[in-house]
Amino acid sequence: MQPETRKRWLIGMLPLALLGGLVALILRTGLADSIRGEAPPLEVLSFQRVELTPAGFVVEVLNDGPDPLRIAQVQVDEAYWAFTIKPAGELGRLGRARLDIPYPWVKAEAHAIRLVTSTGITFDHEIPVAMTTPQPGWRFAGLFALIGLYVGVIPVALGLLWYPLVGRLGPRALGFLLALTIGLLLFLLVDVTHEGLEAVKSMPAAFQGLALFAFGIGAAYLGIEAFGAWLAKRQVGAGAAWVTALLVAIGIGLHNLGEGLAIGAALGLGEVAMGKLLILGFTLHNTTEGLAIVAPIAKTPTSLARLLLLGLVGGLPTIAGAWLGGFVYSPTLSVLFLALGAGAIAQVIVQIAKGMAADRPLADSLRTGPVMAGLFVGFVLMYTTGILIQ
Amino acid sequence: MKMSISRRSLLQLAGLGSLATGVGALTGRPAATPEPAANAAMGHHAGHAMGAVGRVSTETFDPMSFLRAWNFSDLPEQERARFYRETPQPDGSLLREYELFAVDREIEIAPGIFFPAWTYNGQVPGPSLRATEGDRVRVNFVNQGSHPHTMHFHGWHSPDMDGSMPEHQVAPGERFVYEFDAEPFGLHLYHCHAVPLKRHIHKGLYGAFIVDPKTPRPPADEMVMIMNGFDTNFDADNEVYAVNSVAHFHMADPIAVSLGQVVRIYLVNLTEFDLINSFHLHGMFFQVNRTGTSLEGRELTDTLMLCQGERAILEMTFRYPGLFMFHAHQSEFAELGWMGLFKAGEGPLAT
């Protein structure tokens, strides 16, 4: 090593070494305790997953607070109830425990689980509608696949059927259509961001949901940007239009993954039941997503196989999301997927807008009548079909 | 866990059927039918599953010995003399002197749940005090707690002995002597009357004060039951209900009683936050002597309702051997700890 290099290393390491010393000092002396004084322990317990089995409840919890805690008793519907807990005893910071509570719960009625710690602090979880939690298996995998098919795959495929029509449109009509797509996607972006921020609230605070959400958006945006650039460079398929369509399909697919996740989780945890109206709403709503996918390739001859591929990329993730949500749901996973969806959609919006602008400034291309009408109609279309699933 | 699918959420119970039917057809069985076999099995075992899990430590407070103790009779003679002295008076009555102190102490109110209580003599309920009508009662009260406290007795006394006005508050480290004649005979109580009253009572500062008639009531197996509750999470609602503080204690440790012998329960309601509490006994009836101010009961019932501060002497005789449940006839209180068992058996009491 050159003397100069060694010097740089030493200078670089010095603050770190001092930091290490400071950490040791804080840990080994009672400094932190004396600052804290006689403040009582801060207990925070986060419910990770609550399953309903024929025998009762299975509850997974996480100590989300700075101090250890001890679960002393369990109340179900305001009654002390038998339970077993693994591991027994003290639960350290970020420690997880599983409770088995035998309970004769009543189908379709509400139940409340309350955990009482050794200091008498209580943590509540409400089961609004009791239903047996689907266990991974053919029956529920089939049910969730069916739901995914209804709300994701079929609607997107129906939207793709407009492909022959959009090919026959003039430039003004096409501008309108692309703007409409952006309107649809903007709506989805708002929606998926809202969902993500909601999911952040149910995450353990220690996992810093908002930061994770922001990171996910950035990662997805840049990831898809890079993927698009890579595709374009390799001249895969029919050029830029095809790449754009594929990226739109990926963005919508990621969004639908998040959508499937939410549906699967809600169904799995008995928090929602899919009604006829809800299915209808999703079908109408998501059909417009198919339109968004075919708009960029309106003037590009595309084989049926490729159309099919686009449909599957956009729609199939709904099924995967429903499976994930129903069987292995966790708030953290949900936030991450919703963030990926948001980032992907944002990237696609930028991609389409750039394509429309071509060499002109972006504002110029957006100012035209058909484009503004398209943006407006796209948003309104999503908004009105959205009323059905609210 | 909060999980919302916000935009998607639609609570539509009937809806799943329409979708699930399709799957049912695929798999050859209805998707959303109940599981009757499993549910029936659960119902069968459910009775054994209700109740607090585990046992409390009885080292510092044993509900079983509290039940039949008054005037510190549960202490060894030597130690008892430190807290309770009797001095005969010229007129044949007694001067009864008590040493009581308020002290902060953590108590176990259900297995593993510890409550930062304010106590008389380190226990909740406080020691049961018992005198005969006409006796002189002198209570040397020392406040060793962290807040001002008092002792407010129900019974005849002059206003300066009431322990209720701002000037009656005994500051931490200070003492006060309460003195009065025990009257009228009956079942009374004492509690802290410092403000805020609600907190001083629910933190545990209360106990029974029994005044016997000059002609004693007939012999019986006597016990003190104080209905109480504890708010552990500061929501002005009790997480634990009990008689004598410990949730479901007598479910695991039934109170042994003898067949044919009169059982006399001194029942006091000191539940905070809830308007009323109640006592219900299975399989038999009891005589109710409200406030204990009569010589015998005047109402035969199996369920009695009492407001906070109300009390009654209950008398019953067990006819059949075996376990008899007793509990608040408010199901919520019962399942949150206010429930126990008597175990009736042949022969003299084995306690």
Q: What is the pLDDT of residues A291-319, one digit of tens each?
A: 888 888 887 888 888 888 998 998 899 89
Q: Which of A242-251, A269-278, B111-120, B182-191 has the lowest mean pLDDT?
A: A269-278
User: Is B53 near chain A, with CB under 8 Å?
Assistant: yes
> 3-class SS at B235?
coil
- The encoded tokens of residue A340 equal 């990926």
Contact B100, B209 (CB under 8 A): no
The minimal CB distance from A276 to the residues B3, B15, B31 is found for B15
> Is A21 exposed, middle or buried, given 0-12, 13-18 or 19+ CB atoms closer than 10 A?
exposed
C-alpha A214/C-alpha A221 separation (Å) is 11
Chain A residues lying within 8 Å of B23, measured CB to CB: 139, 142-143, 146
The confidence score (pLDDT) of residue A27 equals 84
| Structure letter (DSSP) for residue B288 | E
Q: What is the pLDDT of residues A269-288, one digit of tens each?
A: 655 555 555 666 667 767 77
Question: Shortest Cα distance from A175 to chain B (angstroms)?
Answer: 30
CA distances from B150 to A228, B143, B179, B191, B193 (A): 79, 8, 13, 8, 6
Average pLDDT on B294-314 reads: 96
User: Is B92 near chain A, with CB under 8 Å?
Assistant: no
The confidence score (pLDDT) of residue A237 equals 52
Question: Shortest Cα distance from B231 to chain A (angstroms)?
Answer: 8
Helices and strands in chain B: count of H runs, count of E runs? 7, 20
User: Is B233 near chain A, with CB under 8 Å?
Assistant: yes
Judged by CB atoms closer than 8 Å, whether chains meet at A198 and B19 is answered as no
What are the residues whose beta carbons fall under 8 Å from the beta carbon of A149, sequence distance 6 or more?
A: A319
User: Is B237 near chain A, with CB under 8 Å?
Assistant: no
User: Is B156 near chain A, with CB under 8 Å?
Assistant: no
- Of the two residues A185 and B336, the one the predictor is more confident about is B336
Question: Shortest Cα distance from A327 to chain B (angstroms)?
Answer: 15
Q: CB neighbours (10 Å) of residue B196?
A: 8
pLDDT at A192 over 50: yes
Residue of B nearest to A334 (CA): B3
Q: What is the pLDDT of residues B9-49, one digit of tens each?
A: 333 322 333 333 333 333 333 333 333 333 333 333 344 58
pLDDT at B255 over 90: yes
pLDDT at B348 over 70: no
Judged by CB atoms closer than 8 Å, whether chains meet at B53 and A82 is answered as yes
Chain B residues lying within 8 Å of A263, measured CB to CB: 5, 8
Respond yes or no on whether ipTM tops 0.90: no
Best of A42, A76, A80 to substitute, by most chain B Cβ atoms within 10 angstroms, is A80
User: What are the DSSP E strand ranges found in B12-151?
Assistant: 84-88, 94-110, 113-120, 129-132, 136-143
Q: What is the pLDDT of residues A31-43, one digit of tens each?
A: 777 777 777 778 9
The confidence score (pLDDT) of residue B28 equals 36
Phi, psi at B141, each rounded to 5°: -105, 130
Residue of B nearest to A101 (CA): B49
Q: What is the pLDDT of residues A105-162, one digit of tens each?
A: 999 899 999 999 999 999 999 998 888 887 778 888 888 888 888 888 888 888 888 8
The confidence score (pLDDT) of residue B332 equals 95
Of A373, A332, A345, give the one whose Cα is nearest residue A221. Answer: A345
Residue of B nearest to A56 (CA): B42
Ramachandran category for residue B106: left, alpha or beta (phi over 0 → left; psi -120 to 50 → alpha): beta
C-alpha A296/C-alpha A352 separation (Å) is 8
Q: Average pLDDT of chain A?
A: 85
Of A240-244, A268-272, A303-307, B88-92, which one has max mean pLDDT? B88-92
Percent of chain A at pLDDT above 90? 27
- Of the two residues A264 and A379, the one the predictor is more confident about is A379
Average pLDDT on B53-69 reads: 95
The minimal CB distance from B46 to the residues A104, A138, A278 is found for A104
pLDDT at A330 over 70: yes
pLDDT at A243 over 70: yes
Contact A88, A76 (CB under 8 A): no
* Cβ pairs A/B, distance under 8 A: 188
